[in-house]
Amino acid sequence: MRYGEGATELDALEALHPGELRRILKQEILRYHDADLDDRIEEQAQAFNEQLSETRGEVLARHVDELKQIRRDYDDLIRRANPELKQIKDRYDESFQDIQDRFDNLQQTIAEELEEEAPEPDAVDWAEPEAGDEDDDPLFDSMRDYVEQIDRFKQHQGKSTTRKARKKMGASS
């Protein structure tokens, strides 16, 4: 035998102990899975969205009277202009443009204030996955050679890893 007694392949492990490889792999992989990460990120995203909404409400509240007045002025102008609109459209274009300009300027001011006052997404300390539960002596380690790996698996099974002494061939005295 090239690798000593007890050397086995993964397919042999599966044949001798069906499901054992899957169980071992699942156990090892789950040590690195942070099951609560999605929930923590969702909570932080919700809090961030609430903060954005609150900031938007505060900025709009500062301009609510101006917005209402612009809307009243616009509605009043429409009521006055509609009966005469076909004949005197040109007479009101400047007034409509003035109201539109005031509204556009206010919208720009609101947008600038929102831009300045909105919290930065980078300022949030977003949740990250918890560190994995490292095993000091994992069942599989890609840094081990084949024989070392087999010895580790034997230890896992509770079997001895001592090698039998080999008889030298062709030795003469």
- pLDDT for residue 128: 87
Q: What's the one-letter identity of residue 84?
A: E
What distance in Å separates the CA atoms of residue 107 and residue 75, rounded to the nearest whole number? 18
- pLDDT for residue 2: 47
- pLDDT for residue 90: 79
Report the Cα 163 to chain-centroid distance in Å.
Answer: 50
Report the Cα 55 to chain-centroid distance in Å.
Answer: 24
CA distances from 26 to 17, 31, 149 (A): 15, 9, 19
Cβ 132 vs Cβ 31: under 8 Å: yes
Token couple for 6: 């007890």
Cβ 151 vs Cβ 163: under 8 Å: no
CA distances from 173 to 11, 53, 165, 170 (A): 45, 94, 19, 10
Would you kindly state where each structural domain of the chain is located, as residue ranges? 10-32+132-157, 37-123
- pLDDT for residue 71: 96
**Which pTM does this prediction carry?**
0.47
Residues of the chain with pLDDT under 70: 1-8, 86, 167-173
Token couple for 173: 């005295």
Q: For the packed helices 85-117 and 64-81, what is the interaxial angle rounded to 10 degrees?
A: 170
Token couple for 54: 């609150």
Mean pLDDT of the chain: 85
